[in-house]
Structure 1
């Protein structure tokens, strides 16, 4: 079975640029580069990964592309470009020349305007992605889930994937409203969901697999194995444990699925979605 980690990051740590890393995550206040990840993937029998942006700059997008050219296990890059820029199509056209660049992401979760994804300038940027065969990663907090059906319904042929289950309140064991909204999003078949980022939404120091299972059940029932994909969120996940512990959570849960469903979840869906 081919396993692809659909969501991880690389960075050269900068105190200002990475100010979102709080004191409770101090362990990840350092550089994380391909030479750090390669042995971890090998140890966990993961054949490749998708490097996802963590900064909103073209410089970081180019940095990740450079790493992908140097390391074959980086199968693709999800970068950033200013989707609201009047010149966005020129950027997309230029990046279309780089086969490793698979899609884009904007850090919507940090925007003061919670429905930024529905503003005309943003929608115009999204409308151009399909033309250049780019996917879009949706990074939001759970309060923004209410806007996503409107977004994805406007572009039925655009490939969308929801990052980190839209960050449910696992630590507070709050599931009701998130469950309702996630089911509405899952009705749109052009939307996938990354099963990632769960341990850092739980109690960082005291999480248990039992805390996470109810949220996994919601996702699998809503999206099915056919529209879910494994992601570690390395190195962010290290604030709550190890890569192997994250892998253990999903392997344990998906062990009751059929062999075909496991192949879809652990690799084939990411390969198909990102055109690897």
Structure 2
């Protein structure tokens, strides 16, 4: 089964998406699973991972409700307050939700670049590992040295690097990003999500513009540790679902069939859907 390992849904009236403003016109409206369904069908995708987009437990509850009503969504990556004194207990409680597969603090939006190194994170991260929950790392290139240290401190924690850590594809210098990505790959508990790259590239991007980043993560992680995701509907800021899927298809066209199947679904099932022996099944 092909799995889209990263997409969102939202309702503007919920009011907890502070980063999304009317200036982001292509995505400043409600998006639901009914909008995504024809895009998945066109790409031959049979399952998805729904990912949080607001730093609120209320949104996580909303996403779990959406997932429970869907035959396509296989799991939810939610949010909880890792800074709360009872964060570990909250994670214990959230882990009772069978469709919760991971948690994602929005590190890229935090004022403290060293937040990943705060000692109090040890308890909630240990709780995540205990329950088989995945830590989705929404970070920028400057956070990578901190993430490297966190992954070494917690080798039992499954970590997914979102959006390849958003390399500066609009003409920026990739040298530091390349070095840190290669060092992070030395931790076997880390996999890398091929998503969010279109919105990091310059307007009018081409496959060639993305290849220098994708080829590097391919070299570092190999097909067995890469997951494809659409980042829909955010991808609409730099094209659309079909354009990004076609680009990804071209970027991995040289892989053997089994390796392509892993990148476009098998790895997502292995990483996200291993809790409670669910495999790739919906229930």
TM range (shorter): over 0.9
Shift of 1:15: 9.5
Structure 2 residue aligned with 1:154: 153
**Matched ranges for 1:60-209 at <5 A:** 60-203=59-202, 205-209=203-207
Displacement over 6 Å in runs of 4+: none
State the distance in 1 between where 2:165 and 2:123 align. Answer: 23
Point out where structure 2 has 5 or more consecutive residues left out of the alignment: 274-278
Shift of 1:14: 5.0
Structure 1 residue aligned with 2:276: none
Structure 1 residue aligned with 2:20: 21
Point out where structure 1 has 5 or more consecutive residues left out of the alignment: none
Q: Of 239, 242, 245, which residue of structure 2 is paired with 1:244? A: 242
For residues 75-130 of structure 1, the C-alpha deviation after alignment (integer angstroms, 9 at most, x for no partner) is 00000011222212322222222110001000000111001011012232212211
TM-score normalised by length of structure 2? 0.93
| Number of corresponding residues | 274
Shift of 1:13: 1.8
Q: CA RMSD in A?
A: 1.4
TM-score normalised by length of structure 1? 0.96
8 Å contact kept, 2:48–2:73: yes
**Matched ranges for 1:227-266 at <5 A:** 227-266=225-264
Shift of 1:242: 1.2
Distance 1:23 1:60, change over 3 A: closer
8 Å contact kept, 2:88–2:123: no
